[in-house]
Amino acid sequence: MDPLELLISNDFLRVLDLIGVFVMGVASGALAARLKFDAVGFAIIGIAAGLGGGLVRDLILDYGTPAAFDGPWYLACALAGSLFSFLISPEGPWWRRTVTALDIAAMGLWAATGTAKSMGYGLDPLPAILLGITSAVGGGVIRDVLVGRIPAIFGGGPLYATGALVTAIITWVVIALGIPSPFVLVAVALGALLAGLASWRRWSLPKHGEWEVTMSASQLKALVRRT
């Protein structure tokens, strides 16, 4: 099976995609619960997080009707996830770890499908990879902006964007080289594994100032003389 067909039209992966939308709805609903939102707030946050990245991608690709609105399933899954958190309000570390793991898996899948879809529309490698990352993390960025906080991918959270970048690059390699389709799932697994390890081990990218080098005027002059 062609990799593009595997990622875009395969029913099994479409189901996984919808599960990812549901999970993002649940995770965003948990945030809405902490912020004491009403039912409308739960719904809006769930839709923005679950569908935002794919919606931006499809609009850029001029896809026609975005996949999020091509039938009822995507909206239904996003709203169902939000409703679950609104009614159940689960708490505890076990629940947070479960949602994080599922969220990371959805991130990897969306990075792969976004990259493949962009390649299918003839985009060059760099734009295709960028849209793959946008598909994976765009919804979370929109959600964070809506609630008035700095998006988690800009620092202080799991390496979602980095994991999405790994998945997007490997997906591009698989499709560009005609490697058998199952290796796309390896790309998803590797990106998700990186993000999962980063969440578990508290890894983060270097922040501004952490690698800053300071030199006195005399030290700078000495360095210039030596060079």
Higher pLDDT, 67 or 224: 67
Q: Which of 15-19, 83-87, 165-169, 209-213 has the lowest mean pLDDT?
A: 209-213
- Residue 178 is classified by DSSP as T
* 208: enclosing H helix or E strand: none
> Can you list the positions of beta strands (E) in the chain?
none
Average confidence (pLDDT) over 54-61: 91
User: What pLDDT, on a 0 to 100 scale, did the predictor assign at position 210?
Assistant: 62
**1 confidence band (pLDDT: 50, 70, 90):** very low
**CA 171, CA 215: separation in Å to the nearest integer?**
43
122: alpha, beta or left? (left if phi > 0; alpha if psi -120 to 50): left
**147 confidence band (pLDDT: 50, 70, 90):** very high
- Domain layout of the chain by residue ranges: 3-226
Q: What angle do CA 165, 168, 169 make, to 5 degrees?
A: 85
Higher pLDDT, 12 or 88: 88
**CA 183, CA 130: separation in Å to the nearest integer?**
20
**37 confidence band (pLDDT: 50, 70, 90):** very high
**CA 98, CA 65: separation in Å to the nearest integer?**
33
24 closest CA partner among 122, 144, 123: 144
Task: Please report, rounded to a whole number, the percentage of residues in the chain having pLDDT higher than 90.
Answer: 37
**CA 73, CA 143: separation in Å to the nearest integer?**
20
Q: What angle do CA 168, 6, 105 make, to 5 degrees?
A: 50
Global pTM value: 0.82
Answer whether residue 164 shows pLDDT above 50. yes
- Count each helix (H run) and each strand (E run) in the chain, helices first: 9, 0
